[in-house]
A and B are shown apart, each in its own frame.
Chain A
Amino acid sequence: KQEVTQIPAALSVPEGENLVLNCSFTDSAIYNLQWFRQDPGKGLTSLLLIQSSQREQTSGRLNASLDKSSGRSTLYIAASQPGDSATYLCAVDGGSTLGRLYFGRGTQLTVWP
């Protein structure tokens, strides 16, 4: 069974810092890896999707990398802002069960002014 782990569980930083959130998964036979943002009491907002054939994806201040062979992904957030405060979830799709996402527990990020 696919297991997804996210480190750290929580992170609190001052505004302006560059951040790295880590995600690891046990079964490297994936099709996609998706990063989400979840605000308190809300659903999930898709941030980036990386296909298994890709090494990275960028959207604005966000950059996600994927090393499929080692089972790792990182989400890099540049010049963090208080509005970035949320929980960030990593999920992988594929392996033996197509379409089903396996999620980590998330990293709870707080950016203070």
Chain B
Amino acid sequence: GAGVSQTPSNKVTEKGKYVELRCDPISGHTALYWYRQSLGQGPEFLIYFQGTGAADDSGLPNDRFFAVRPEGSVSTLKIQRTERGDSAVYLCASSLRHRVINEQFFGPGTRLTVL
């Protein structure tokens, strides 16, 4: 596609439920990133994939969060046993990932609300 797409655009769930958020990167982009943005804050890094593997997952807040990218394209962010504090906008970005030029392009985000 022309840009990064994310589905769903909005997700409302109850505390304790499991959710999956999907990201489709720009075609041909090898690197994919997940960020989380709380109200009034800048995005915070969660995880970065280069190809199929997670190159850096140090931003995941705890073991309830997990992400996969099995074929090196689409990625899914999975959150188990959701908590109210997980409510935020989850942003996905992709890039061509050159050594010194790494312009990241962002999707519209998924707004997650945990009741």
Contacts and interface: CB of A to CB of B under 8 A. Distances in A.
Contacts of B1: none
A106 B93 CA distance: 18
Contact of B101 (A36, A51, A98, A100): A51
B42 A100 contact: no
Interface in A50-90: 51-53, 89
A44 interface: yes
Contact of B42 (A31, A42, A98, A105): A105
A91 interface: yes
Range class of the B interface residue count: 20 to 34
A104 B43 CA distance: 8
Closest A-B pairs by Cβ, 7 of them: A103-B42, A44-B106, A43-B108, A43-B106, A49-B103, A100-B45, A43-B109
B45 A32 contact: no
A41 B43 CA distance: 13
Contacts, number: 75
Given A43-B91, A44-B43, A105-B40, A97 B56 contact: yes
A100 B93 CA distance: 11
B20 interface: no
Nearest to A31: B100
Interface residues of A, number: 28
Interface of A: 4, 31-32, 34, 36, 41-46, 49, 51-53, 89, 91, 93, 97-106
B43 A101 contact: yes
A43 B5 CA distance: 10
B24 to A, nearest CB: 13
B37 to A, nearest CB: 8
Contacts of B40: 105
Contacts of B99: 31
Given A44-B43, A105-B40, A99 B48 contact: yes
Given A99-B55, A99-B56, A42 B108 contact: yes
B72 to A, nearest CB: 15
